[in-house]
Amino acid sequence: MEPKELCKLAVEAMGHAYVPYSGYKVGAALLCADGTVYQGCNIENASFSPTVCAERTAFFKAVYDGRRDFTAIAICGGRDGVITGAFPPCGVCRQVMREFCEDDFILYFVTADGYEAHTLAEVLPYSFSAKTHMK
């Protein structure tokens, strides 16, 4: 799947966000090796800490379905769903990516006029994982 198409699915997912507290809508589209896409949005809570990010919504939907073969994720976000620039994932979401993805997993950050691409190795170097630390 073309990165542009994956980015479009992230934008579509952003429309599902439940954000009565921050107003920041976030969407994610997670691509599997066979072309299947899992979409996610952020879901907030009055108690704040139960809030889940869009990226983890997508990952957990996919993992529940037995998926492990992830190649890329597109992410977008902005106040009231208006994309003004890249909306990079929080550290917790990066760590979840590390659990299931290799260094060459690609992250597309949707921008106002396109996207930027990064690898997981770039955005989470020198990190903890079962593969490297729990042998």
Residues with catalytic function: 55
Minimum CB separation of residue 109 from ligand THU in Å reads 11
Minimum CB separation of residue 55 from ligand THU in Å reads 5
Q: Does 107 bind ligand THU (CB under 6 A)?
A: no
Q: Does 15 bind ligand THU (CB under 6 A)?
A: no
Q: Does 72 bind ligand THU (CB under 6 A)?
A: no
| 91, 53 contact by CB (below 8 A) | no
Q: What is the token pair recorded at 61?
A: 């939907």
Q: What is the token pair recorded at 4?
A: 């542009």
Q: Give the binding range for ligand THU (CB under 6 A) out of 29-37, 65-73, 85-93, 127-135.
A: 85-93
How far apart CA 59 and CA 61 sit, in angstroms, is 5
Q: Does 54 bind ligand THU (CB under 6 A)?
A: yes
Minimum CB separation of residue 135 from ligand THU in Å reads 29
Please tell me the count of residues contacting ligand THU according to CB under 6 A.
13
Q: Does 58 bind ligand THU (CB under 6 A)?
A: no
Chain contacts with ligand THU (rule: CB under 6 A): 19, 22, 24, 26, 42, 44, 51, 53-55, 89-90, 93
